[in-house]
A and B are shown apart, each in its own frame.
Chain A
Amino acid sequence: MSINFIFEPIALPLAAGIIALLFRREQGKACAWFCTAVTAAHLAIATYLFGKEASLTLPWGAFGFEFSLKLYHFSGFIMLAAAGFGFLISLYSTAFMNDRRFLNQYYAYFLLTLGMVNGAVLADNLIVMLFFWESLLLTLFGMIIIGQPQAFKTAVKAFIISGVADLCMMVGIGMTIYMAGTMTMSQIHLPLDTWSSVAFVFLMIGAIAKAGAMPFHSWIPDAAVDAPLPFMALVPAALEKLLGIYFLARISLDLFVLNPRSWLSPLLMVIGCITILLAVMMALIQRDYKRLLSFHAISQVGYMILGIGTAVPVGIVGGLFHMINHAMYKSCLFLSGGAVEKQAGTTDLAKLGGLRAQMPVTFICFVVAAASISGVPPFNGFISKELIYDGALERHWLYYAAALLGSFLTAASFLKLGHAAYLGKPAANHSKVQEAPAAMLIPMIIIAVLCLVFGLWNALPLNNLIQPILGEARLEGHTFAGWHFSVTLVLLTVLVLIGAFLNHIWGAKRAGNGLGAADHIHYAPVLHPLYDKAERRLFDPYEIGLKIVRVIARIAWGVDRGIDYLYDTVAVKVTYAFTSGIRKAHTGSLLAYLSWSLAGLIVIIALIMGGI
């Protein structure tokens, strides 16, 4: 294999992305097929590259700074997954996006994002990785802003939140390079002492913010409403999770060695649990298909962070497996949401209903993906969640309880979503709704099938994709493939799911429809005011940050005014006071001038005769 082949996953999408910009506005269709062809070719290349190892180092610039790439199992896996999603979602977009504006920009950002992700994954130099990582901000901003005219605010929000997190990561990278004495990632293995823990926290902030964990999540629900839907399926649901969890795994496994005794492990687990619970609580009360999904995109990150945070092999395997599983079912869910949006014209759950009859394929795909995310056996989500439960239980039962509660609420919210959108009475004006076109169905079907395959034959992904990331030494001969779970845990999981189902039936009966199935939780005594405030974004870290910034800005403005006042008013007034005094003294009287001179003469004579 030519060594430069390693460039391809970066160069091909970037070059194609720039070419996509050359398409004219009316050539949207051509641009879409161009993009699909490129992603197909890219998928083929990524498949070819998967499992191979290669590295490339070019001197670049001064300060011993090298452009180095490294292809190995983990990066090949992420690239393959990204390429797969890229292809499927591009195919989906050909049907979904065809009447939108700015198509050439959309596909250009699409391809550029893919190239940047590959670059970030392949990079073996922290600075090179940071370069690609930060470049993603540009396409993120661009993809949100082309969604609709009022998307600007959301785009800025996403940009600022990601930018702040990336800044933290930059600090972390700086500290790491300083401590390790090298920028090459594959040569860094730092023990976790005080300072390297701080560096770890900074790097972790960058990683989990990219994955969308709390408190760096708040742009995702807004983007779900404003941005084009395939963007949601591609970036926050799939690529950003892959990238963020990839880097979290890299820093926990390679760059630093996260062990259960370090205080960082509980920190990660707590962040994970909080993210799971708070986000899913918010998801439960959403009344918009896409917004509900977006909160789950946040919530599920919590499982991955929890899994990796356990720092025991089973948890890490579970976390990584959950990463790829989540990317699959969440994309599928978003795609199903897109199909509903496209066909029914809305994603407002209050205006939907009974779509099962009209869109049966979409419904089946939705059911599979929803079952996966809720952890219903035998789908892939069940497997990865069980692994994470095992890991969490090994650390403390509280983490396990939180994760299980999250599962309960996840199941509840998806029962609500499915019930409201697909079951129940058909909405009045939706009688003519038809099944989505094939270009949109095929990606959904493929992903749904993979969800089932990854569950039933979990040995296939676990043995081939996930476990090699940890390596033989860390696994100590264990293998997590297969179905040897503790019966108690499985029973507990199933009980929780049945509980969620019963809860749903009760709630739906109480409210009279599927949409209100969670109202008894929404309007519960303590939760109701909290929910109200959360819906008004009072807990949104971005909004709080903006308030703080506004206070600082006001103080700075006051200081600025003060300085201006000093210069523009005080200084001028004082000067003119002197000036008018001097003017008054100059009466034009020769007598006065002469007497000044004589006074001056006397003083000077006294001075000189007294002084010398």
Chain B
Amino acid sequence: MPVLLIIVPLLALLVLNLPWMRLMNRLALWVGLILCLIQFFLVLHSPSFFWEAPPLWLGRLFLFAPSLDYLSLVMFLAIAIVGASALLVCRYSIHDLLEPVKPGACSHKRFLVINLLILALTGMNGVVLANDLFSLYVFLEITAVASYILIVAEKGRDAFEGAFKYLVMSAVATALILAAIALLMLTAGDLSYANIKLAMSASSDSHIVLAAVAMLVVGLFIKGGLIPFHGWLPDAYSAAPAAVSVLLAGIVTKTTGVYTLIRIVLSVIGFSDTLENLLLLIGAASMLVGALAALGQSDFKRMLAYSSISQVGYMVLGLGAGTILGLAGSIFHLFNHAIFKSLLFVNAAAVEQQTGTRDMNRMGGIAEKMPVTGCTSIIAFLSTAGIPPLAGFWSKLIIIVALWQSGHIAYAVLAILASLLTLAYFLSMQRRVFFGKLAAGFENLKEANVWILIPACVLAAITIGVGIGIPWLFETFLLPIRSLL
């Protein structure tokens, strides 16, 4: 019955857009939050009837048979958490009700954004559930289209530029994926993961299959924003409205890029030396270039965007180790990254909203005025940099150990060095924004309101909790990954 995770949000969207505008406007946020919470608790209560029952009558409308495994559950959890955070940030940062309502034009911007957020969540749920390449493609597109529009919700020049770059690069990715699907269809005659895998093992050295694999992988690299396919990412992340940045950085690119890559590698392509080397190379390049580029940024969100590239590099590096431990580290890091990077973007939203700028050189000493934001930001960046006992430390440690064990010692050393770089640029950020003397002009600065402090605190608590609770989570969170290979 997991198909309900797609159907219910879609129905909710339909209901919300029935013509009772004024009422729906108020309800939209709560509907979105409740959907996320239900998803969250359903995952926590797995395995249960919900996950195992066959699709009901409505579910049968879908032609694909959803697949469900441990990896999907982790993704659902991350999607729910980040989605809820994005919705709350949306409530905080978008004030559409205060704007004058032009007759005939939909000026309910927040309502629009919430609708699109729910649509994007639906799309991502679909990506996670997809069991054949065509469904995957469809849901990828749903997510992407929702994202394009979300980025331009504020209608600035930067937003259009960012959205346009994302659109063009995504279109290239889509074209490559579509071409790959066509080629694989040609070989296998079917698009379900299992059948393609069979067909590929039958004709593993066929040039058509290899070209299809290459195009598919490159398409997903573009979606995930890996070096050198990352050109769209900093612009899109930094130009998007705060809530959208949280969603994009926290989960969208990770689902459409990294999760899909993991899923395709596991279920369709399978590990091979060439693929592992390619993943290691791209992962290490992303990790280092992303971190080095982040070091040179003065725009808060742009720095976080490059940091995102760097962290995705870690995940791909873990996958490239080709072992169960590397895979576990990769998935764990994906989850942790969803939490702490969302938290950082939440903080960035709070800072941007309160100070009116994203230029870190103009800030300083803000922690004095915004203590909660400052504290949660410290937790988030320490977790990102891999400082024990926070969550990010464990996932990085697992990745590094996996690399070491699989004999890729040079990559393990690089991962440690990149960790130092991570610490360097985050310390620089923390010093410029939160610590030191209060910058001129911020004397009347106030702490952000409760709508954004709730997600900040919850995300920080999850980061700490996962880090400290690792001995318990190891059994429930990490060991089940063994079932994936």
- Residues of A bordering B, CB below 8 Å: 575-576, 578-580, 582-583, 586, 588, 590, 592-594, 596-597, 599-601, 604-605, 607-609, 611-612
Q: How far is the CA of A17 from the CA of B168 in the complex (A)?
A: 88
Q: How far is the CA of A604 from the CA of B217 in the complex (A)?
A: 9
Interface string of B230-248 (1 = CB under 8 A from A): 1110110000000000000
The answer to whether A612 touches B272, judged by C-beta atoms less than 8 angstroms apart, is yes
Chain B residue with Cβ nearest A612: B274
The answer to whether B275 touches A608, judged by C-beta atoms less than 8 angstroms apart, is yes
Q: How far is the CA of A611 from the CA of B234 in the complex (A)?
A: 32
From A583, A590, A600, A605, give the contact of B221 (CB < 8 A): A600
The answer to whether B169 touches A593, judged by C-beta atoms less than 8 angstroms apart, is yes
Q: How far is the CA of A578 from the CA of B277 in the complex (A)?
A: 24
From B169, B210, B292, B295, give the contact of A608 (CB < 8 A): B210
Check if B205 is an interface residue, CB within 8 A of chain A. Answer: yes
Q: How far is the CA of A575 from the CA of B289 in the complex (A)?
A: 11
B contact residues around A601 at 8 Å (CB): 176, 214-215, 218
The answer to whether B293 touches A583, judged by C-beta atoms less than 8 angstroms apart, is yes
B contact residues around A599 at 8 Å (CB): 228
From B214, B234, B295, give the contact of A609 (CB < 8 A): B214
B273-297 contacts to A, CB under 8 A, are 273-275, 277-278, 289, 292-293, 295-296
The answer to whether A575 touches B231, judged by C-beta atoms less than 8 angstroms apart, is no
Check if B421 is an interface residue, CB within 8 A of chain A. Answer: yes
A contact residues around B176 at 8 Å (CB): 601
Known contacts A575-B424, A579-B293, A590-B165; A611 and B211 CB within 8 A of each other: no
The answer to whether B421 touches A575, judged by C-beta atoms less than 8 angstroms apart, is yes
Check if B164 is an interface residue, CB within 8 A of chain A. Answer: yes
B contact residues around A596 at 8 Å (CB): 228-229, 231
Interface string of B112-148 (1 = CB under 8 A from A): 0000000000000000000000000000000000000
The answer to whether B168 touches A612, judged by C-beta atoms less than 8 angstroms apart, is no
B contact residues around A604 at 8 Å (CB): 214, 217-218, 221, 278
Q: How far is the CA of A255 from the CA of B222 in the complex (A)?
A: 82
Q: How far is the CA of A238 from the CA of B213 in the complex (A)?
A: 93
Chain B residue with Cβ nearest A593: B231
Known contacts A604-B278, A609-B211; A594 and B231 CB within 8 A of each other: yes
Q: Is chain A's interface secondary structure helix, strand, loop, or mixed overall?
A: helix
B289-321 contacts to A, CB under 8 A, are 289, 292-293, 295-296
A contact residues around B292 at 8 Å (CB): 575, 578-579, 582
Q: How far is the CA of A579 from the CA of B229 in the complex (A)?
A: 18
A contact residues around B161 at 8 Å (CB): 588
The answer to whether A582 touches B164, judged by C-beta atoms less than 8 angstroms apart, is no
A contact residues around B232 at 8 Å (CB): 593
Known contacts A576-B295, A594-B231; A612 and B218 CB within 8 A of each other: no
Q: How far is the CA of A599 from the CA of B172 in the complex (A)?
A: 13
The answer to whether A590 touches B204, judged by C-beta atoms less than 8 angstroms apart, is no
Known: A607-B214, A612-B272. 20 other contacts (CB 8 A): A579-B292, A579-B293, A583-B296, A586-B234, A590-B168, A590-B231, A594-B168, A597-B169, A600-B221, A600-B229, A604-B214, A604-B218, A604-B221, A608-B213, A608-B274, A609-B211, A609-B214, A611-B274, A611-B277, A612-B204
The answer to whether B289 touches A582, judged by C-beta atoms less than 8 angstroms apart, is yes
B434-467 contacts to A, CB under 8 A, are none
Check if B207 is an interface residue, CB within 8 A of chain A. Answer: yes
A-B contact pairs, 6 of them (CB 8 A): A583-B293, A593-B169, A597-B229, A599-B228, A600-B228, A611-B277
Which residue among A575, A582, A592, A607 has the maximum number of chain B CB atoms within 10 Å of its CB?
A: A582
Interface string of B255-275 (1 = CB under 8 A from A): 000000000000000001111
A contact residues around B231 at 8 Å (CB): 586, 590, 592-594, 596-597
Q: How far is the CA of A605 from the CA of B216 in the complex (A)?
A: 10
The answer to whether A608 touches B214, judged by C-beta atoms less than 8 angstroms apart, is yes
The answer to whether A597 touches B228, judged by C-beta atoms less than 8 angstroms apart, is yes
Which residue among A596, A604, A611 has the maximum number of chain B CB atoms within 10 Å of its CB?
A: A604
Which residue among A579, A588, A594 has the maximum number of chain B CB atoms within 10 Å of its CB?
A: A579
Q: How far is the CA of A597 from the CA of B175 in the complex (A)?
A: 13
A contact residues around B217 at 8 Å (CB): 604, 608
The answer to whether B295 touches A605, judged by C-beta atoms less than 8 angstroms apart, is no
A contact residues around B210 at 8 Å (CB): 608-609, 612
Which residue among A580, A592, A593 has the maximum number of chain B CB atoms within 10 Å of its CB?
A: A593
Q: How far is the CA of A583 from the CA of B303 in the complex (A)?
A: 12
Shortest CB distance A356–B (Å): 76
A contact residues around B278 at 8 Å (CB): 604, 607-608
Shortest CB distance B120–A (Å): 23
A contact residues around B165 at 8 Å (CB): 590, 593
The answer to whether A605 touches B215, judged by C-beta atoms less than 8 angstroms apart, is yes
Known contacts A582-B292, A600-B228; A590 and B164 CB within 8 A of each other: yes
The answer to whether B214 touches A579, judged by C-beta atoms less than 8 angstroms apart, is no
Chain B residue with Cβ nearest A582: B293
Q: How far is the CA of A607 from the CA of B218 in the complex (A)?
A: 12
Chain B residue with Cβ nearest A597: B229
Shortest CB distance A350–B (Å): 63
Chain B residue with Cβ nearest A578: B292
Q: How far is the CA of A583 from the CA of B294 in the complex (A)?
A: 9
Q: How far is the CA of A611 from the CA of B275 in the complex (A)?
A: 9
Q: How far is the CA of A257 from the CA of B296 in the complex (A)?
A: 75
Across chains A and B, which 5 residue pairs bring their CB atoms closest together, nearest first?
A593-B231, A611-B274, A579-B296, A605-B214, A596-B228
The answer to whether B272 touches A600, judged by C-beta atoms less than 8 angstroms apart, is no
Known contacts A594-B231, A596-B231; A580 and B214 CB within 8 A of each other: no
Q: How far is the CA of A284 from the CA of B177 in the complex (A)?
A: 102
Interface string of B147-167 (1 = CB under 8 A from A): 000000000000001001100
Q: How far is the CA of A148 from the CA of B52 in the complex (A)?
A: 88
Chain A residue with Cβ nearest B272: A612
Shortest CB distance A603–B (Å): 9
B contact residues around A594 at 8 Å (CB): 168-169, 172, 231
Q: How far is the CA of A103 from the CA of B215 in the complex (A)?
A: 91
Shortest CB distance A602–B (Å): 9
Which residue among B207, B231, B295 has the maximum number of chain A CB atoms within 10 Å of its CB?
A: B231
A contact residues around B424 at 8 Å (CB): 575
B contact residues around A580 at 8 Å (CB): 296
From B204, B207, B234, B296, give the contact of A576 (CB < 8 A): B296
Chain A residue with Cβ nearest B173: A597
A contact residues around B164 at 8 Å (CB): 590
The answer to whether B172 touches A597, judged by C-beta atoms less than 8 angstroms apart, is yes
Q: How far is the CA of A612 from the CA of B421 in the complex (A)?
A: 34
Q: How far is the CA of A575 from the CA of B421 in the complex (A)?
A: 9
Which residue among B164, B169, B296 has the maximum number of chain A CB atoms within 10 Å of its CB?
A: B296
Q: How far is the CA of A590 from the CA of B160 in the complex (A)?
A: 13
Shortest CB distance A589–B (Å): 9
Q: How far is the CA of A576 from the CA of B221 in the complex (A)?
A: 27
B179-233 contacts to A, CB under 8 A, are 204-205, 207, 210-211, 213-215, 217-218, 221-222, 228-232
Shortest CB distance A94–B (Å): 62
Q: How far is the CA of A487 from the CA of B102 in the complex (A)?
A: 134
Chain A residue with Cβ nearest B226: A600
Shortest CB distance A575–B (Å): 7
Q: How far is the CA of A205 from the CA of B170 in the complex (A)?
A: 82
Which residue among B161, B165, B217, B295 has the maximum number of chain A CB atoms within 10 Å of its CB?
A: B295
A contact residues around B222 at 8 Å (CB): 597
Known contacts A593-B231, A608-B278; A582 and B296 CB within 8 A of each other: yes
Shortest CB distance A299–B (Å): 62
The answer to whether B218 touches A600, judged by C-beta atoms less than 8 angstroms apart, is yes
B contact residues around A583 at 8 Å (CB): 293, 296
A contact residues around B218 at 8 Å (CB): 597, 600-601, 604-605
Known contacts A578-B292, A583-B296, A597-B169; A605 and B211 CB within 8 A of each other: yes
Chain A residue with Cβ nearest B222: A597
Q: How far is the CA of A590 from the CA of B235 in the complex (A)?
A: 10
Shortest CB distance A571–B (Å): 9
Shortest CB distance A580–B (Å): 6
Interface string of B345-388 (1 = CB under 8 A from A): 00000000000000000000000000000000000000000000
